[in-house]
Structure 1
Amino acid sequence: MSNITNRVLSIQSHVVHGYVGNKSAVFPLQVLGFEVDNINSVQFSNHTGYKNGFKGQVLNEKELADVFSGLVANNLHCLYTHLLTGYVGNPTFLREIANILKTLRSVNASLVYVCDPVMGDDGIMYVPKELLPIYRDEIIPLADIITPNQYEVELLTEKCIKTERDAWNAIEWFHDRGVKTVAISSSELGESDSLLALVSHKDGSKSQRCKMTIPKQGNGIRFTGTGDLFASLFLAHTSLTGFDICATLERTIASLQAVITKTLTYIPDDVKAGKTSVTSAQRELKIVQSKREIENPEVVLRCSKI
């Protein structure tokens, strides 16, 4: 058995209350046996969807570089096997992440970079538009694994996705830029009551493709932090399965669906029935309560190999 410890440097947002960004990603990785060192791109009281707003601080690129320089000074940057990035709010911060990645790869050429290009959803872009060309031209070519949603794929590739064929064609755009593994975490290509996830892996002459139909839960309730959770679980299971992409997707979705199911048990029945509006607090994922389902995912939904 290898004595190498999987250690992730996770650069994402942080909230004091709730589960998005690092709060959504760190615990699942730890439960699955990964050491996680996290740098918080922002520290907010709660996520930005709460009706009375939020308070907090935003880390700038100089502060990010300063924190990372402390890791380098103590040779701690040599320990990382993975870099995971999520929400970033400004262009210069995103470019500093690229600098950090290059430093990490200078001491570990096999480091795996998992990029969740958090830019928007449902046709709405919620980061500055200046981030898009930086992701497209500077960050994506550095990534080993990318986990965008359908809207983010459309933004990056400038391709409209109306059919499954469109999605696979868009995935090839990422492969052409050197990304080995592309996981579209959710798309609206399924039926009205389901989502479709698609994953493609290309490494030299080896290639794998698979897809999965995922039933929607919660009668239209939208949960925050699910994309962050997907990226962290996908990172873990690619490593734990030796890049068996079908098994990775099945385990990732098994845990994700279990977390949503658990969360729904805490939401009042009148809210689930649509009689009362759901609050932001009620939509917070019950990740800690789902520890067992994260640690030992019970695979019910199977993917189809393409």
Structure 2
Amino acid sequence: YSHWKGQVLNSDELHELYDGLKLNDVNKYDYVLTGYTRDKSFLATVVDIVQELKQQNPRLVYVCDPVMGDKWNGEGSMVMDVLHSMGPDTVVITSSDLPSPRGSNYLIALGSQRTLFVGTGDLFAAMLLAWTHKHPNNLKVACEKTVSAMHHVLQRTIKCAKARAGEGLKPSPAQLELRMVQSKKDIENPEIVVQATVL
């Protein structure tokens, strides 16, 4: 979009929001998912909140989607190893050209889209969290379901956007809004269109 309005939550506002959840006793979670964090103070507040939540529920799973936006130049496997050494059991890298001779890593190869979508990373992270919850011991299946659902959402979005734009015209960002509601069935029970292979 050419214009953005609204505000970005700062660390004090996040803390205040969390205090409100605590006052209403609605701060009991099994999972916490965070996305892009723009500054250290906000991230420090997230860490404090997650640590407090883990005291209440030691089995709480924290999922961080750091929104790196980097092009990987073959160092993806090394980055995964570094991240694993820092504690996470599961590391998923998307949008990568990652050739690797690893044994417990999976690769799902897809064609790329020449369209810019907004919100695909958030949708991917949320669906991956949901599918790893449903398949806690099978990352391969969770990834296949996540990527297949993404495929269906994007295909429906492209088809709808092209129809709205008109023949031969490029869809606008508004026309390319992800068709998540229309894709509800595909999100809940995706037809598997990709297979993960062991690297």
TM-score (norm 2): 0.89
User: What is the CA distance between 1:61 and its match in structure 2?
Assistant: 1.4
- Runs of 5+ unmatched residues, structure 2: none
Specify the code of the residue in structure 2 equivalent to 1:178.
G
User: What is the CA distance between 1:59 and its match in structure 2?
Assistant: 2.0
Q: 2:91 aligns with which of 178, 182, 198?
A: 182
1:113-161 Cα shifts (integer Å, max 9, x gaps): 0000024x3xxxxxxxxxxxxxxxxxxxxxxxxxxxxx1xx7xxxxxx3
Specify the code of the residue in structure 2 equivalent to 1:86.
G
Q: 1:260 aligns with which of 146, 150, 154?
A: 154
Q: 1:92 aligns with which of 41, 59, 79?
A: 41
Of structures 1 and 2, the one scoring higher in RCO (CA 8 A, sep 6+) is 2
User: What is the CA distance between 1:55 and its match in structure 2?
Assistant: 1.3
d(CA) in 1 for partners of 2:162, 2:104: 42
Contact 1:237/1:248, CA 8 A, preserved across alignment:
yes
- Runs of 5+ unmatched residues, structure 1: 1-49, 122-150, 155-160, 191-195, 201-206
Contact 1:270/1:276, CA 8 A, preserved across alignment:
no
State the match for 2:184 in structure 1: 291
State the match for 1:128 in structure 2: none
Contact 1:221/1:278, CA 8 A, preserved across alignment:
no
User: Matches of residues 50-69 of structure 1 in structure 2 within 5 Å?
Assistant: 50-51=1-2, 53-69=3-19
* Residues 99 and 272 of structure 1, relative CA distance in 2, 3 Å threshold: farther
TM-score (norm 1): 0.60
d(CA) in 1 for partners of 2:77, 2:8: 36
Q: How many residues align?
A: 198
User: What is the CA distance between 1:63 and its match in structure 2?
Assistant: 1.6
d(CA) in 2 for partners of 1:178, 1:227: 22
Contact 1:223/1:284, CA 8 A, preserved across alignment:
yes
d(CA) in 2 for partners of 1:269, 1:292: 21
Query: How many percent identity over aligned positions?
Result: 34
SS across alignment from 2:7? strand
User: What is the CA distance between 1:84 and its match in structure 2?
Assistant: 0.4
State the match for 2:20 in structure 1: 70
Specify the code of the residue in structure 2 equivalent to 1:212.
I
User: What is the CA distance between 1:280 and its match in structure 2?
Assistant: 1.2
Is the aligned partner of 1:167 residue 2:76? yes
* Residues 103 and 186 of structure 1, relative CA distance in 2, 3 Å threshold: same
User: What is the CA distance between 1:271 and its match in structure 2?
Assistant: 6.4
d(CA) in 1 for partners of 2:165, 2:175: 9
User: What is the CA distance between 1:85 and its match in structure 2?
Assistant: 0.3
User: Matches of residues 1-306 of structure 1 in structure 2 within 5 Å?
Assistant: 50-51=1-2, 53-77=3-27, 79-119=28-68, 121=69, 151=70, 161-163=72-74, 166-187=75-96, 189=97, 208-217=104-113, 220-268=114-162, 275-306=168-199
Contact 2:165/2:172, CA 8 A, preserved across alignment:
no
Higher strand content, 1 or 2: 1
1:208-256 Cα shifts (integer Å, max 9, x gaps): 3211101224xx1121111111100110111101231100110000100
